[in-house]
Amino acid sequence: MTRTEFLKNLKLGGGALMSIYCMGAITSCANEDTPLPATSTNPDPIKNGKIDFTLDLTMDANKALKADGGFLYNGNIIVARSKDAKYIALSKICTHVGTTVEFQKDTNDIYCPNHGSKFDLTGKVTKSPAPSPLKMYQTELLASGTKLRVYEA
Ligand code: FES
């Protein structure tokens, strides 16, 4: 049963439903159908002081990376699959004031929802106010494409 179905079963009117949604009885007023980027459950992304982790693409937690335009976060890294099926990995921390960036499928780039900075798939700033690029990491498909390694060169 969804949150909406549960509240409808209480036989409350629309105004009462909105009050319950937004008074804190429910923790968010967001549309329950809005998908959020998956968060990987992978272990510590740092090995020997450097970024180095491998995502199992057969796991549900990483299924966002099975489709072009999908992305997820692991630690402070955003990992995305571009429109042309290339894997990219960048720091997820915007260089302006540190907001978590997002991959945008339509424009095939990285966007910061805080002040609108944009970055290309190498992390280069294409729209300010971000003052410097996002750090880029290497990606490598392993095990016949079922695993994706992200690492610092
Ligand atoms: S924090 Fe990203 S543009 Fe300001």
Strand-strand pairing, 50-56 and 46-47? antiparallel
**Any atom of ligand 1 within 6 Å of the Cβ of 97:** yes
Q: Which atom of ligand 1 is nearest to the CA of 97?
A: 1
**Any atom of ligand 1 within 6 Å of the Cβ of 82:** no
Residue to mutate, 117, 118, 119, 134, ligand 1, most ligand atoms under 8 Å from C-beta? 117
Q: What is the pLDDT of residue 7?
A: 39
pLDDT tens-digit profile of 34-86?
A: 444 555 556 578 888 899 999 999 999 999 999 999 999 999 999 999 999 99
Contacts of 140 (CB under 8 A, 6+ apart): 148, 149, 151
* Smallest CA separation from ligand 1 atom 4, residue: 115
Residues 148 and 141: their CA atoms lie apart, in Å, by 5
Residues 103 and 82: their CA atoms lie apart, in Å, by 9
Q: What is the pLDDT of residue 46?
A: 81
Residues 152 and 135: their CA atoms lie apart, in Å, by 10
Q: What is the pLDDT of residue 73?
A: 95
pTM, rounded to two decimals? 0.74
CATH code for the structural domain at 36-151? 2.102.10.10
Residue to mutate, 114, 119, 127, ligand 1, most ligand atoms under 8 Å from C-beta? 114
Residue 130 CA, ligand 1 centroid: distance in Å? 6
Residue 54 CA, ligand 1 centroid: distance in Å? 28
CA dihedral 28, 29, 33, 34 (to 10 degrees): -80
Q: 19 or 126: whose pLDDT is higher?
A: 126
Domain spans of the chain?
Answer: 1-34, 36-151
pLDDT at 133 over 60: yes
Mean pLDDT of the 5-24 span: 42
* Smallest CA separation from ligand 1 atom 1, residue: 97
Q: 144 or 5: whose pLDDT is higher?
A: 144
